Every structure is written in C-alpha cells, then in structure tokens.
C-alpha cells in the first residue's frame, strides 16, 4: 500500500519533469521563417563578372536581404526605423543566400524566392513567448516591429517551419542559428573514446580480479579502492585529467580525446563492479565442467564463463556509458565548456558535449535559448533512452536460458 503510494509519487514527479521539459522545448523544433523575393543583382554580387569564389563570398548579401524586406515597407524612412526593420531578419540570413549563390553561381542576376529565418525575438513573439500586451520597454520587440510583423503575416510571407538548423548547426550566439549537432558529435566522439578505453580494460580487470587473482592483501586493497573510486565525485576526475592529461602530458584542451579519457576513468569502476558481479553469478559448476574436461583456465573463461556473464557486463557497461553521457563537471575542468561553433571532425578537435551545451544555453540571457535548452535536454534524454533500449536488447539477445 505504502509502496504503491511511493511509486505513484515518484512516477508523478517523473511525469511532471517530462511534461515541463517537453512543453518548454517542443517549440524549439520549429522556427519562424519569412519568404522573401531577393534580387540577386549582378552589380551587387559580382560587378566584375569573373565569378571568382573570393568575390562571391565577400559580396554584401545583407544589403540584398534588406532591400528585399524594405520593398514590402516603402513608407519606412529614417536610419533608426530601417535598422529596426532589418533586425527582424536573422543575421544568418545573408549566409543562406551566399551559400545558395556559391553552390550555383548561375542564379546571379535572377530574382529568387528564399525562405529565411527571422530573428530570435520575432520568433519568440510569433510563438507567443513575448506578449504584445506588456510595456514596450519590457520586451525585445518594439511596437513598430509588431506592426510590421503583422503586415508580413497578413501578406502570407511568415510561416513556422521545422527547425533544421537546430539539428545541423553548431553553437552560435544567435539562438536562431544555434544547433546541437556540434555538441552531439562531441558527445559521440567522447563516448567512443570512453568506450574504447573503459570496456576492454574494465572487462579485463574484472576477469583478472574474479577468476585469476589470488586472494591476498594486495588484491583486497585493490578491491576496496575500486569500490571507493566508484564513489569519488566526478569533478575530482576532471581535476585529475587537468593535472595529468593536460598539464603533464600536454594533450589538447577541450578535446573529446581527453574528455573520453577522463570519463573512462570515471566509468571504469562501474564496469569492473558490474563485470565482477555478473562473473560471480555464473554457476561454479560450469567452471568445474570445463576444467574437468581439461580446458585451461583461460579457455574456461573465454569459452564458457565470459559468454554467460556477457549480458550482465554489457548492461553494466551501458549504464556506465549513460552516466558518462550525462556528465558535465569533469568536462568543465578540461575546457570542454568553451564556446565552439565548428562541428568537431576528430577526437583532437575542440568540442563540447550535450550536457555542457545545455549548461551553456541555460546560462544565456536570450529568451529563445530557454526553449532550445529544453529541446537539447529532450535530445539528450532521447540518447539516454536509446542506450537503455540497447542495453535491454543486448541482454535479451545474449541471454542464455538455463
């Protein structure tokens, strides 16, 4: 009875957590876009006509976007108003046009329709996060912008589109250009390093301690220490990584390589403890049978004991990996908290990871980062869910019925 009540309370907290995260975050998966007809005039982009890449990429596309937007508002005069009008479009809009031109220079000289991201403030206003009823000084969207935006909506140029930038972009100061791909790739690379290091070492240690090590003071001491290591705060491992991997060995800062090594240290005790527990649960009669057949101890372990212990070892390892995926503190210590726009291409490139990205966005003042923070949490939870599902599937697959 009390048990059911306790479980119900716990489940309702989980439900509340999921509800708040999803209700805060789902709107980040759409982005307010505007359809603009841009005049890709040759005079402006490539006055010499040489179609030189350097010239094409240096052209003033921002001006083209502004011209196009202003054509809908012929009565807007004055520098201030013009600037305010231009601010409604994302500062990344000109890059979209530049990329299109670079991809296909033959479109120069034509008038083309582009679907461009609007600025984060307009986006938030459109999604209802900024209310027009509040005083003008309390909001980031001015009364004039609201009127102009309404005009654009009436013209049918504004639409909410699926936010692909969020899944294909790296971090950015501008919320509408910020994406989690950089952090996701960073997490993936970090976890890869962690797995490659901790899984073989962890299993080997577990096998040695459980199957081969003599029971003496030294192994007892090691055992106690492994159990203690599992309880060491993760930030301490970060400090260790900073002192040894960065300062002593001079490995690159902010790199998934070092992050993975630090997380591997953190995950090792978990894997060793889980591995030993599942090795211990293999019935001794199987060892007897194999040894009695004349199998050596190594053969006994590799042919019989390890396959039977594998489901448990895998479950333990994946749980350790999931822990590593959600870890922030040790990575702050080794500089993975840096603002990194590029998507890392290897384990030595500077990068950040999903939980650190969440931490960074949660710290940002822009209103649009609130929903992105929640959206990034949704993605992180999705990864964790996938890993746990993988653990269940692997366990089912390798499980041997007795």
Partner 1 sequence: MDHNQFTPEPDVTGSSEHGAATKVSARGLSVYYDDAQALYDVDLDIGKNQVTALIGPSGCGKSTFLRCLNRMNDTIDICRVTGQVWLDDQDVYDKSIDVVHLRARIGMVFQKPNPFPKSIFDNVAYGPKIHGLAADRMEMEQIVCSSLKRAGLWDEVKDRLNAPATGLSGGQQQRLCIARAIAVEPEVILMDEPCSALDPIATAKIEGLIEELTEKFTIIIVTHSMQQAARVSERTAFFHMGKLVEVGDTDQIFTMPKETRTQEYITGRFG
| Size of interface with partner 1, in residues (CB under 8 A) | 23
Residue 4 binds partner 1 (CB under 8 A): no
User: Measured from the CB atom, is 128 or 214 closer to partner 1?
Assistant: 214
The residue among 173, 164, 177 whose CA lies nearest residue 93 is 177
Residue 222 binds partner 1 (CB under 8 A): no
Scored b (16 or more CB within 10 A) or e, 184-217 reads bbbbbbbbebbbebbbebbbebbbebbbeeeeee
* Distance between CA atoms of residues 341 and 353, nearest Å: 12
Smallest separation (angstroms) from partner 1 to the CB of 222: 16
Residue 214 binds partner 1 (CB under 8 A): yes
User: Measured from the CB atom, is 79 or 401 closer to partner 1?
Assistant: 401
Residue 218 binds partner 1 (CB under 8 A): no
Task: Select the span of 63-71, 97-105, 234-242, 300-308 touching partner 1 (CB under 8 A).
Answer: 300-308
Site for partner 1 in 83-102 (CB under 8 A): none
Smallest separation (angstroms) from partner 1 to the CB of 390: 23
Near partner 1 by CB under 8 A: residue from 146, 192, 229, 295: 295
Smallest separation (angstroms) from partner 1 to the CB of 300: 9
Residue 286 binds partner 1 (CB under 8 A): yes
Near partner 1 by CB under 8 A: residue from 11, 289, 341, 393: 289
Residue 217 binds partner 1 (CB under 8 A): no
Smallest separation (angstroms) from partner 1 to the CB of 400: 4
Residue 314: how many other CB atoms lie within 10 Å: 23
* Distance between CA atoms of residues 188 and 192, nearest Å: 6
Residue 304 binds partner 1 (CB under 8 A): yes
* Distance between CA atoms of residues 13 and 382, nearest Å: 19
Residue 396 binds partner 1 (CB under 8 A): no
Scored b (16 or more CB within 10 A) or e, 293-303 reads eebeeeebbee
Residue 401 binds partner 1 (CB under 8 A): yes
The DSSP-derived string for 339-392 is: ---SPP-STTS----HHHHHHHHHT---THHHHHHHHHHHHHHHHHHHHHHHHH
3-state secondary structure 307-326: HHHHHHHHHHHHHHHHHHHC
Contacts of 110 (CB under 8 A, 6+ apart): 40
User: Measured from the CB atom, is 80 or 215 closer to partner 1?
Assistant: 215
Residues that bind partner 1 (CB under 8 A): 214-215, 283, 285-297, 299, 303-304, 308, 400-402
């Amino acid at each position: 009875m009390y048990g059911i009540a306790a479980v119900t309370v716990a489940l309702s907290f989980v439900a509340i957590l999921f509800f708040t995260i999803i209700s805060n975050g789902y709107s980040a998966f759409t982005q307010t876009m505007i359809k603009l007809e841009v005049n890709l005039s040759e005079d402006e982009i490539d006055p010499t006509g040489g179609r030189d890449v350097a010239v094409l990429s240096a052209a003033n596309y921002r001006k083209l976007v502004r011209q196009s937007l202003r054509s809908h508002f012929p009565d807007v005069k004055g520098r201030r108003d013009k600037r305010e009008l231009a601010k409604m479009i994302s500062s990344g809009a000109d890059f979209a046009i530049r990329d299109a031109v670079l991809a296909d220079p033959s479109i120069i000289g034509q008038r083309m329709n582009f679907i461009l991201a609007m600025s984060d403030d307009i986006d938030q206003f459109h999604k209802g996060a900024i209310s027009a009823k509040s005083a003008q000084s309390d909001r980031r969207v001015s009364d004039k912008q609201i009127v102009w935006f309404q005009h654009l909506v009436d013209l049918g140029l504004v639409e909410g589109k699926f936010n692909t930038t969020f899944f294909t972009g790296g971090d950015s100061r501008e919320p509408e250009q910020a994406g989690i791909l950089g952090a996701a790739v960073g997490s993936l690379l970090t976890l890869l390093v962690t797995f490659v290091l901790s899984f073989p070492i962890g299993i080997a240690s577990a096998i040695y301690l459980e199957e081969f090590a003599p029971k003496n003071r030294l192994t007892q001491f090691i055992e106690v220490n492994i159990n203690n290591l599992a309880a060491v705060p993760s930030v301490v491992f970060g400090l260790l990584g900073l002192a040894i991997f960065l300062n002593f060995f001079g490995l690159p800062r902010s790199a998934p390589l070092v992050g993975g090594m630090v997380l591997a240290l953190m995950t090792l005790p978990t894997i060793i403890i889980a591995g030993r527990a599942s090795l211990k649960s293999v019935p001794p009669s199987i060892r007897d049978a194999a040894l009695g057949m004349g199998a050596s101890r190594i053969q006994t372990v590799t042919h019989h004991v390890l396959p039977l212990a594998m489901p448990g070892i895998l479950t333990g390892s994946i749980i350790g990996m999931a822990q590593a995926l959600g870890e922030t503190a040790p990575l702050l210590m080794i500089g993975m908290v840096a603002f990194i726009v590029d998507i890392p291409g290897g384990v030595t490139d500077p990068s950040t990871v999903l939980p650190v990205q969440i931490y960074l966005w949660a710290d940002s003042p822009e209103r649009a980062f609130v929903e992105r923070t929640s959206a990034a949490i949704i993605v992180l939870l999705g990864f964790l869910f996938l890993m746990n599902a993988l653990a269940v599937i692997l366990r089912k697959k390798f499980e041997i019925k007795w």
